[in-house]
C-alpha cells in the first residue's frame, strides 16, 4: 500500500503533527516533496498543499531524478547526500525525505518554520 504525504504523521520536536510540508523530528527535518523531473533547472519552488515543489533537470528513469534531487538538496541544506534518507517515493513524484542535521534552511522552509 502506498502512502500519500498527507497520510504521514510524525511528531516534530515541538510535538506537532506533520500537518504541513515540513516538521522537525529531533535534529532531523522531515519534508514532503512533489518532485518535477526533466525541468529546465534545479530549483526549490513554492509550497503546494502539504508538499514542497522541487524541480530537477534529471529525467525520471530508474530513480535517477530522485538521486539527482538528493544531491541537489544536500548542497542546499549544507549536508552530505548520505544525510538525506528517501523514506518513500524513490520512483514517484510524491516523496518524503528526512534530512539529518541541516546546516542551512532554504527561505521557504525557514519562513514556514518561523511561523509554526
pLDDT over 80 (residue 16): no
pLDDT at 113: 83
For 7, counting Cβ atoms within 10 Å of its Cβ (0-12 exposed, 13-18 middle, 19+ buried), the class is: exposed
Q: HSE (CB half, 13 Å, CA atoms) of 73?
A: 33
Mean pLDDT value of segment 12-41: 81
- For 56-95, write each residue's pLDDT tens digit: 999 999 999 999 999 999 999 999 999 999 999 999 999 9
| Residue-level pLDDT at 9 | 38
How far apart CA 114 and CA 110 sit, in angstroms, is 6
Residue 114: predicted pLDDT: 84
User: What's the pLDDT at 52?
Assistant: 96
Set of cell numbers at residue 69: 534531487
pTM: 0.82
Amino acid at each position: 500500500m502506498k502512502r500519500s504525504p498527507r497520510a504521514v504523521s510524525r511528531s516534530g520536536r515541538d510535538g506537532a503533527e506533520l500537518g504541513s510540508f515540513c516538521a522537525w523530528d529531533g535534529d532531523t527535518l522531515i519534508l514532503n516533496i512533489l518532485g518535477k523531473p526533466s525541468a529546465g533547472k534545479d530549483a526549490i519552488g513554492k509550497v503546494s498543499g502539504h508538499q514542497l515543489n522541487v524541480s530537477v533537470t534529471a529525467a525520471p528513469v530508474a530513480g535517477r531524478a530522485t538521486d539527482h534531487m538528493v544531491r541537489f538538496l544536500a548542497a542546499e541544506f549544507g549536508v552530505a547526500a548520505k544525510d538525506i534518507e528517501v523514506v518513500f517515493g524513490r520512483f514517484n513524484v510524491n516523496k518524503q525525505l528526512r534530512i539529518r542535521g541541516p546546516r542551512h534552511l532554504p527561505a521557504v522552509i525557514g519562513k514556514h518554520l518561523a511561523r509554526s
